[in-house]
Structure 1
């Protein structure tokens, strides 16, 4: 499967697309968020909405129908809420694309367009959900309206593999040990970010740290930090800032400037210092999350080694009724 073929099939079946809905749960939802941000920023024609699967079922958008494309992701291929959301979208006449790692799973069905992706360490960005979803959005933009940054985006996706490989070495040398040590010293931390990269601020908190490391933490938007949360800033409180490289960087810089003078425990992961200066500024916003995800994996692994806590260990997920 490739994005150009998928969108061609959608257009042949449904004609013009006026709404695109991105639907998933947890880490899969995180991977769809940058494509949603790109559609909102770049399209004059298509409305974009992003939903956790259960919310899509309970608070279904009225516009869902024959002019819609619903893109869903279930890594396991069996996430019930996501499968139910796919069935709902199909019943309303929406074109449906599912992404899954599991061939032959319920998500991998010939009832809709099914995209089975590989999953292992060091897979190319273009073949995993973060790259696939951006490619789907780019092809939809190119098929219906002008998308001047199409070539820049595709080049950026190709560049991310080399950028990430180099950044992994850099983050291991500069940040991993300190991050793990600070987690040992602090029972709680705040994670800040903005723009499309806010998906990884959210994902780092709820997936990498809360789910995989049982680390208490909270995620904050860098802009919203100054509309309430900054009142609890003080020495002894651990802050971790994901500093993006695109249009929203000024929000992260403002938060960093304040934190430097109001807490003694701040770590900054600056995308520009980790290779994003090699990506066209027009599309950095949408590719920063690819970098941050890879760095988050390195940081959570470092914490896991120090705490002797395997990232695959769970006490509730898949073990008790919920």
Structure 2
């Protein structure tokens, strides 16, 4: 069994916590401006990270929040940008051609540009007004949620921040408790030619990320992400004994939607793996705040699953065939 590297995670998480004062200062500056529209722009995993906050923003923010790829943003929105538009860019390296080229263009406008950037001293640093360093990833979901809750004047933001500071221990304990189940999930999927991953709500972006950028890009495994609300409009017809189905079940109001899919597959399918977010107990996180950290918890579990896959397949980000290896 591949064991979870707890020390490395905690060390990196402490660096992330050091960014919280910066996040709050940036939000205070943004609030001085009359922001009426927010664009969240990224490629790959940065793009999918932004999905975790969409439902909350639709409920609690009165202006449009739009998530886009850099090239699509240029095609659809660039010419009609207003000075009241806030631009948020997400990137791990700050050197991806599409996002870097866009940042150079946007820097000539009057818009506020915030960058969630993973690495230190990146090419894109010179083209954003405010940088939030994610360290462990492209857009760190704990920092993103603090940014969003502060921006929307969430009444209990102070307590949420204090709980986030305790999350590293809770999350480490949760991953360790799930390590055997995680290893078995990978073993169950190793001989399958096709995997379907299903979820909904705030978790769907992480499921999409895992399928596209871990299973397919790094592990070269055919994987499809399906929203639980879409499952009964097409995908249910491919349920048979040869497909591996994997469902991530929400702990909140989306739970019944996910369980409906799980019950159908139990009846008509053969291989079903379930990740239930209620198994992440997180005792130091209040019940009302667990929905804000579940996407990050799932993100860390998926990183662990990738480590387990790599142990069995010897495939990693270093063995990609095409990404950053050939011109395209």
Q: TM-score range by the shorter chain?
A: 0.7 to 0.9
Residues 42 and 11 of structure 1: is their aligned pair in 2 closer, same or farther, counting only changes over 3 Å? Answer: closer
SS at match of 2:216: helix
1: CA distance, partners of 2:40 / 2:189? 33
Counterpart for residue 13 of structure 2: none
2:14 is aligned with 1:3: no
**Residue 62 (structure 2) pairs with residue 51 (structure 1):** no
Instruction: Report the counterpart of residue 52 of structure 2 in structure 1.
Output: 34
* Alignment partner, residue 254 of structure 2: 248
Q: 1:62 to 1:258 in 2, by over 3 A?
A: farther
The superposition leaves residues 261-287 of structure 1 with CA deviations (integer Å, 9 ceiling, x where unpaired) of 111100000010122576444443332
Question: Do 1:246 and 1:281's aligned partners in 2 also have CA atoms closer than 8 Å?
Answer: no
**Greater alpha carbon shift after TM alignment, 215-224 vs 62-71:** 62-71
Over aligned residue pairs, what C-alpha RMSD do you find?
2.3
* Equivalences for residues 95-134 of structure 1 within 5 A: 95-109=112-126, 112-119=129-136, 129-134=140-145
Gaps of 5+ in 1: 121-126
1:158 aligns with 2:176: no
Structure 2 distance, partners of 1:168, 1:28, is 23
Q: Give the secondary structure class of the aligned counterpart of 1:114.
A: strand
SS at match of 2:56: helix
In the superposition, relative to structure 1, how do residues 196 and 64 fare at CA in structure 2: closer, same or farther (>3 Å)?
farther
Instruction: Decide which of 43, 47, 65 is 1:25's aligned counterpart.
Output: 43
Q: Distance in 2 between matches of 1:128 and 1:84?
A: 19
Tell me how far 1:92 sits from its aligned partner.
Answer: 4.1
The answer (yes or no) to whether the contact 1:57–1:84 under 8 Å persists in 2 is no
TM-aligned CA deviation for residue 94 of structure 1: 1.9
> Matched residue of 2:126: which SS?
coil
Task: Tell me: CA distance 1:156–1:221, structure 2 relative to 1, closer, same or farther (3 Å).
Answer: farther
**Which 10-residue stretch deviates more, 101-110 or 244-253?**
101-110
Q: 1:128 and 1:50 mapped to 2: Cα distance? A: 13
Structure 2, unpaired ranges of 5+: 1-18
- The Cα shift of 1:256 comes to 1.1
Tell me how far apart the structure 1 counterparts of residues 57 and 66 of structure 2 sit (CA, whole Å).
9
Select 2:102's aligned residue among 77, 80, 85. Answer: 85
Q: Tell me what 2:304 maps to.
A: 298
1:60 corresponding residue in structure 2: 77
Offset at residue 116 of structure 1 (A)? 2.9
- 1:288 and 1:321 map into 2 onto residues whose CA distance is 37
Q: Aligned pair in 2 of structure 1 residues 220, 148: CA closer, same or farther (>3 Å)?
A: same
User: Which of these residues, 291, 300, 320, is aligned with residue 285 of structure 1?
Assistant: 291
Does the 8 Å CA contact 1:97/1:114 hold for their aligned counterparts? yes
* Aligned-residue offset at 1:110: 6.5
Secondary structure of the corresponding residue to residue 124 of structure 2: coil
Q: TM-score, structure 1 length as denominator?
A: 0.87
Alpha-carbon distance in structure 1 between the residues aligned to 2:80 and 2:39: 10
User: How far off its partner does 1:62 sit?
Assistant: 6.7
Match of 2:151 in 1: 140
83-92 or 93-102, which moves further after superposition? Answer: 83-92
- What is the total number of aligned residue pairs between the two structures? 308
**With structure 2 as the length reference, what TM-score do the two structures score?**
0.86
Residue 7 of structure 1 deviates from its aligned partner by 1.6
Structure 1 partner of 2:325: 319
Alpha carbons of structure 1 residues 155 and 62: separation in structure 2 relative to 1, 3 Å: farther
Q: Does the alignment pair 1:265 with 2:277?
A: no
Secondary structure of the corresponding residue to residue 99 of structure 1: strand
| Deviation, structure 1 residue 233 | 0.9
Per the TM alignment, residue 84 of structure 1 is displaced from its structure 2 partner at its CA by 2.8
